[in-house]
Structure 1
Amino acid sequence: MIVFVICSFLILAVVLSLFSSHELRVKTQSFFYSIMPRIKKRRMSICNFSKKMNYAMSSQQTQKHWYLQQWGILITGFFLLGSIVVFSLTRTIDPTRIEANYLKEVDPQIYTLLNGEMLNPPSEVDEKLVDEAIVQAMRLEQEYRVNHQNPKNSLIVDDVHGGFDTKMVDRKWENMNPRYKQRLLMVFKIMRDRYDYELVLLEGYRSPDRQNLLSGDTNTTRAKAYQSYHQFGLAADIAFKRNGKVIISERDPWAWRGYQLYGEVAESVGLTWGGRWTSIKDYGHTEYRMPGLKKTKETAESLILEGAAKM
């Protein structure tokens, strides 16, 4: 509305500036005077046609003016159809309600857990905060390795090696399937309300190319394209936010406690937590193992488009 008012004001200012010219005003008046007879003639034709139509529509003229009646029906149908089209194009679409109806149909379990209330995702995390968190995580890992002669593999730093700060990372909530998205948002809400932990999304949907790139480092992931739930919009990696800063490393005691709570809450809403894995522990990772899911390219494309279409 503000943009409309500003644009209207600018247009009015330009028009008034142009009409400040006497020559332009004279030409404009001459133009309107020249078309006035044509406008009057056209208006009279329309009025006469309307009178004929009105007369032809009377019950006494059914047979005599049937062709005019056909035109009346055609014009009425055109305006009716036009009204329906205009209404459809201008009707306000509520994406939340669309998503609720979608989940009610395909995933009644999460719909029941949410009590029909769709959760809205938080704003996207600042890229600079993630970069700073990566640097901090690497520093803490180096300190840990200095203090421990035989340390275990650090998931967070291995993931950082995979590159959270690349342009291939997708942090858009709308690219995740609603069946997983709403479960994850419920976890975000419980972690904030119950434990006072603010969560941020590090990566959601992951392209096949990025998955193959990450699989080159077996300390990060062994899953290739379409073997990970990320390609289906059914997985995500998270971190925490404290005092305006993103915390990634599990070497931070506060973050480590957060990851444990995160795993418990995620599992309580039907998600699988990477912290339970035996080979590579991924504390910030959760995924929704959809029953009957076939890990194929066609399924991945279908689920991503399915989520986008319902939004």
Structure 2
Amino acid sequence: MIFFIVLSFILLITALALMMSYELREKTRFFLKSLAPRSKKQLMSARHFAQQMNHAASNEQTQTHWHLQQWWILIAGICLLSSIMLFAFTKAVAPTRVEAAYLKANDPQIYNLLNGDILSPPPPVEEALVEEAILAEQIAVNQTPTINSMPIPKTYDGEENDTSSHAYETVQIDRKWDKMHPSYKQRLLMVFKLMKERHGYEMVLLEGYRSPERQNRLSGNTATTLAKAYQSYHQFGLAADVAFKRNGKVVISERDPWAWKGYQLYGETAEQVGLTWGGRWTRIHDYGHTEFRMPGLRKNKESAERLIAEAQGQGLMANNIANP
């Protein structure tokens, strides 16, 4: 479109210049007349070459005109390359179509739920905002045990025996989306969208994938988590911990009445798209945690590596399409 506009502009300028200048019209006329003999000669040469090419293509000329036959190979190659380039530059392929194709084949439930509207993840939350929220929560824990007689919910992470949601440890925390499996990531992104559109809550990802090394380190403190490596859905890219963003700041504390209401709405919305919410558990409560309990999943190292590789493979294909 831009090329067409520029070309039209150039043609318009040329036409106006010819209309306004007699000298320019005369020079153009003489130039075109001088081209006529040369054009006729070049046309004859091209015609002679075409006749040679046609003659060389016959079976009888295989041995004597093999060098001209190579031109047919070159022409065929150029036509093939041109068709590929034309297809690549004219066919609009969005990166999300890669993930859409995967979900359509492997997770038709979420694909139908999305109605083909594959969602793109937001940029990672700024680390400084998370650290500020952690500091504010630590001060609140030390100074204010209750707010309006509201119970102080403990913060946990993972399954009912996996307790580490807001361990307030930022080392090796992964706040990116690239290792989150499409079946879970699209469900979580839909929850983010619904929370924003329906309830006015902007969500942020605190932690998605968690390495087995980090999981084992956290499990050393029973007040943080009881789950060891590959016992949490975080190692499979099927779980995440989230918080809220209000007035440019991250809010992680359930002691904040606004955030407490948000976590309740978050849990209800997450369950509507097939996720398990930590706030519904009976033994422990983890209000910022959701997970997708994939049917038939065996919780071991092999399954974790397969699902993470699958998630990263989808992301890599999408990036290759977006940046050919």
CA distance in 2, matches of 1:303, 1:159: 22
Number of the residue aligned with 2:217: 213
Q: Does 1:226 align with 2:230?
A: yes
Post-superposition shift, 1:200? 0.6
Residue 264 of structure 1 pairs with residue 268 of structure 2: yes
**Structure 1 residues 60, 227: CA separation in 2 closer, same or farther (over 3 Å shift)?**
closer
Structure-2 change in CA distance of 1:245 and 1:89 (3 Å):
same
CA distance in structure 1 between the aligned counterparts of 2:312 and 2:67, rounded to whole angstroms:
49
Is the 1:239–1:284 Cα contact (8 Å) retained in structure 2? Answer: yes
Is residue 53–residue 72 contact of structure 1 (8 Å, CA) maintained in 2?
A: no
Which segment is superposed worse, 82-91 or 227-236?
82-91
2:159 is equivalent to residue 155 of structure 1:
no
TM-score, scaled relative to structure 2: 0.71
**Aligned residue number for residue 274 of structure 1:** 278
Question: Once the 2 structures are TM-superposed, how far is the Cα of residue 299 of structure 1 from its aligned partner?
Answer: 1.6
Q: TM-score, normalised by structure 1?
A: 0.74
1:127-181 CA-to-partner distances (Å, cap 9, x unmatched) read 111111101111222234499xxx8673169644351x22x11111122111111
- Which residue identity lines up with residue 139 of structure 2 in the other structure? R
What does residue 255 of structure 2 align with? 251
CA distances 1:77-133 after superposition (whole Å, capped 9, x unpaired):
443554467568878652111111111111111111111101222222111111111
User: Structure 1 vs Structure 2: percent identity of aligned residues?
Assistant: 54
User: Larger RCO: Structure 1 or Structure 2 (Cα < 8 Å, ≥ 6 residues apart)?
Assistant: 2
- Listed as ranges, the gaps of 5+ residues in structure 1 are 1-47
Cα distance in 2 for partners of 1:62, 1:89 equals: 36
Structure 2 partner of 1:134: 134
Partner Cα separation in structure 2 for residue 289 and residue 131 of structure 1: 30
Could you tell me which of 37, 58, 66 is aligned with 2:55?
58
Q: Residues 89-104 of structure 1: matches in 2 within 5 Å?
A: 93-104=93-104
Cα distance in 2 for residues equivalent to 1:122 and 1:85: 33
Instruction: Quote the offset at 1:227 in angstroms.
Output: 1.3
Amino acid at match of 2:135: V
Match of 1:30 in 2: none
Whole-angstrom CA distance in 2 between matches of 1:258 and 1:152: 15
User: Which residue is 1:241 aligned to?
Assistant: 245
After superposition, residues 17-166 of structure 1 pair within 5 angstroms as 54-58=51-55, 62-66=59-63, 67-68=66-67, 70-80=69-79, 82-83=81-82, 93-145=93-145, 154-155=154-155, 159-163=165-169, 165-166=170-171
Partner of 1:178: 182
Instruction: Give the SS at the match of 1:101.
Output: helix
Cα deviation 1:221-244 (Å, max 9, x = unaligned): 211111111111111000011111
1:187 maps to 2:191: yes
| Comparing 154-163 and 296-305, the one that deviates more | 154-163
Question: 2:230 aligns to what SS in structure 1?
Answer: coil
Question: 2:165–2:241: 8 Å Cα contact kept in structure 1?
Answer: no
Alignment size in residue pairs: 260
The equivalent of 1:283 in structure 2 is 287
Q: For residue 265 of structure 1, report the CA deviation from its aligned partner.
A: 0.7
- What SS does the aligned partner of 2:167 have? helix
Q: In 2 relative to 1, CA 123–180 (structure 1 residues): closer, same or farther, beyond 3 Å?
A: same
Deviation of the 1:56 alpha carbon: 4.8
For the structure 1 residues 54 and 230, does the alpha-carbon distance in structure 2 shift closer, same or farther, using more than 3 Å as the test?
Answer: farther
Structure 2: which amino acid aligns with 1:136? A
2:279 counterpart letter in structure 1: G
Deviates more, 1:229-238 or 1:118-127: 118-127
Which residue type is aligned with residue 216 of structure 1?
Answer: G
2:222, 2:235 → 1: CA distance?
18
Contact 2:165 2:288 survives alignment (8 Å): no
- Distance verdict in 2 for CA 1:57–1:205, change over 3 Å: same
Distance 1:65 1:51, change over 3 A: farther
Distance 1:239 1:70, change over 3 A: same
3-state secondary structure, aligned to 1:217: coil
